[in-house]
Amino acid sequence: MKKYLALMTLILSSTVYANGGELSANIQNLNGKAGEYVYIPTNGDKISYLKWDIKNVPMLNLGYNYEYDNWEFSIRGRKNIGNNIRSGYMKDYDWFSTAEESDPVLLQAGLSKDQAEAMAEEKGKELGIKLDVKEEEGQYVVQYTPQEKDRGELSNFSKNKNYVKNIIGLDLTAKYYLKKDDKYKIAPMVGLNYDKFEFYALGGDQKNYIPGTGAYTLEPGNGKKGITYKQRFMTPYLGLYFDYRINSNWEVNLLLKGSAWGRARAKDRHLERGKMESFEKYKSIKYLSSNLSIKYHWNESLALKYEIELTKYFKNKKSNVRHTDEDGKVENIKDLSGISNKTIASSFGFEYKF
């Protein structure tokens, strides 16, 4: 993959110094969602899903195209304008798995034995469930111990302020025109796409649900940076390009790209849970992208352009994870995590031929 990237960069860089070419620039508004999943490897239960918002993130896109006979080589890059951009919310959902794998739901801590027993009886009758009393360091807690019937029920939910630290993209493409005249252009294409998304979230209030009752306890958030998350995708792809020149001023083109050979890496860091972090690797990521562009030719050299682009990295949970727990213990675990990403971008800019 690195050799291929270096070769494509060398080819495209060399064309910049040749005569001719087309330079493009546009401002993009990016929206979407990045998905982070956690599973129980032994039974496949999904126990956590973190949905990271990408909301109205301003991006700068720059591109360069160079044509030689029926070939066209392109390089395009993008970067968010400014860092630490407020971007909606990160919503964190957790579910119960088997009774053995699930943690108790704490209702009250720091009680005497009599207080705990009285609360367990009264609250249990109110909710229609059995509550347990446990001793911890000379004090007593009231808790609900999950049962097998609770498997798959929502256990926790939190809504946390989300920030985009970095979004970076690079796309290298080679097209070969099968048809190229004053009216139509059709070209198959091959390329390599790189995307990086980096987020962090501030701790928000968490609801801890008591299954089957609709009741929950509320754990207030502290508003501090609690979780950071990074995704990186490297995807070789195949595609098709269609272009239609309506008249001397207006032009429309459509670009379709797809792949089943993408690779991804992700890193999750829980800042308030000691040394806890996860490094994740994925193969065979499925990828689809479409781009519709409308151009108005101001003159022979300058064109104004509006684009809309949809991109999706399909969910993949075939992971290899190096996981570090709160105490610093490191394990290599398969199928512990999952990844997904989808975005929609609209942009306005220009193309200049020279």
| Listed residue (252, 288, 241) closest to 73, CA to CA | 241
Q: Domain coordinates of the chain in residue numbers?
A: 2-97+156-353, 104-145
Evaluate whether 74 touches 12 at the Cβ level (below 8 Å). yes
CA 186 to chain CA centroid, Å, is 32
The ranges of the chain with pLDDT < 50 are 1, 3-18
pLDDT of amino acid 20: 65
pLDDT of amino acid 15: 40
Pairing mode of beta strands 337-353, 22-39: antiparallel
**Residue range 43-76, pLDDT digits in tens:** 999 999 999 999 999 999 999 999 999 999 999 9
pLDDT of amino acid 259: 98
- For residue 201, the tally of other CB atoms under 10 A from its CB is 26
| Listed residue (123, 136, 151) closest to 43, CA to CA | 151
Instruction: Find residue 254's DSSP bridge partners.
Output: 242, 292
> Token digits for 218?
């509320």
DSSP element (H, E) containing 194 = strand 184-202
pLDDT of amino acid 274: 84
State which amino acid sits at residue 312: K
| Domain 2-97+156-353 = CATH 3.10.20.30 | no
